[in-house]
Structure 1
């Protein structure tokens, strides 16, 4: 995908990327495929997407999973998402601050539906300025995800996956709950606007 469809979508809905919210929209189809592949998705999956932005990843998730719960803070984007994804009955758009909703509250009854009761996954292009709080929010929750595939700033990803001797508080606290793996490095040109 190139930047022109993203620019057209922003223009159509009278939107602009909000720097204060860390909005950088993924436009690289290869990276999108990499994310989807790493998440090992199936129709039995419930996926929580944090900061769905323009819904490019959301739409692709909806095509392959049982349920997508997308949580967006920017109300203008929420309106656009509800309109542009209305044809997907398996997508729920929530206008909220993800840090103010416990995962078990967010998921509600979905975890009791037998065909979706495999737990849930988090798949997201995280806003860089709140990566650590979001990771802690899910990893320390009562209802932890079975898998997280998140795009984070390069330095943050390297810190999270650091080996002993190079570990920081972030890497120790993350690795207490999970075994992080870096699956790809994403160039700035894969986003609009570039970070």
Structure 2
């Protein structure tokens, strides 16, 4: 073993994952979208792409049996893991104590659905100027989790998530792309997302039927946010986005006829014969502001 490996410590491999699961009577379930990472190299790569250091405060959603959790703690970071599955949440502290006992005081697990997390019921990050989300997200709820946390935590400054490849493509898509849609535009309200790598199926147990990818996100500064949105109301803007993409093959004039008066298009400088998939978040915000004017 190299000196670097000795300093890094022991992360979970396939045998460790299967032993922990058997010991706790845990089987991966489709209900919670559980596919456990069994490759230490993959979780270290995620942590590296997320720029996690000993000074970082991390939220992890869906820690599972602790593969990525240990890689985060290995950096010296403090973290809170949000786990929906009670037996999994109960077992996780024992795994940390076994494989990385020196990190026990820097770790907390909360047994809760991530979609219900607020600064009130998980106050761990309330005193932070900023924190980061690092997670292998359940594929079926990845986008709602991301958008919900960004809305509720103004100090969630960045994230690095592993999601289904198609989800990653949509999150990072830009106007004019055929997969540019509601998630792409709403995420752009908060900041900038980009694809930073692909992940093979063989690093999971059980192996999923889809490929995975990594998405890195960085939040806009308050100044950039204000310049881009022009003071438009977020809920009003998101309402227009939902309406435009619910009928994405229609022109804005047809899709938004109940929401946007003709004059608002003219004042916003937006041609109503365009489709929603050609508009930037700044365009939608400007249109929403004119509707409210």
TM-score normalized with structure 2 length: 0.61
C-alpha distance in structure 2 between counterparts of 1:97 and 1:186, whole Å: 25
Deviation at 1:38, TM superposition (A): 1.0
Find out whether 1:79 has 2:90 as its counterpart: yes
Q: How does 1:1-195 map to 2 (within 5 A)?
A: 2-86=13-97, 87=101, 88-102=104-118, 104-105=119-120, 107-108=122-123, 110-112=125-127, 117-166=128-177, 167-195=180-208
C-alpha distance in structure 1 between counterparts of 2:15 and 2:135, whole Å: 22
Please, what is the CA RMSD of the aligned residues? 1.7
Report if the CA contact (8 A) 2:40-2:67 is conserved: no
CA gap of 1:110–1:155, structure 2 versus 1, over 3 A, is: closer
Q: Which runs of 5+ in 2 are unaligned?
A: 1-11, 209-293
- How many residue pairs match? The answer is 190
Q: Which runs of 5+ in 1 are unaligned?
A: none
Deviation at 1:82, TM superposition (A): 2.1
C-alpha distance in structure 2 between counterparts of 1:12 and 1:183, whole Å: 35
DSSP-derived class of the 1:157 partner: helix
Which entry has the higher C-alpha Rg, 1 or 2?
A: 2
Q: Which has the higher contact order (CA 8 A, sep 6+)?
A: 1
Q: Which shows bigger deviation, 140-149 or 91-100?
A: 140-149
Deviation at 1:106, TM superposition (A): 5.2
CA gap of 1:106–1:60, structure 2 versus 1, over 3 A, is: farther
C-alpha distance in structure 2 between counterparts of 1:109 and 1:173, whole Å: 26
Deviation at 1:163, TM superposition (A): 2.0
C-alpha distance in structure 2 between counterparts of 1:109 and 1:59, whole Å: 19
Report if the CA contact (8 A) 1:111-1:119 is conserved: no
Report if the CA contact (8 A) 2:62-2:81 is conserved: yes
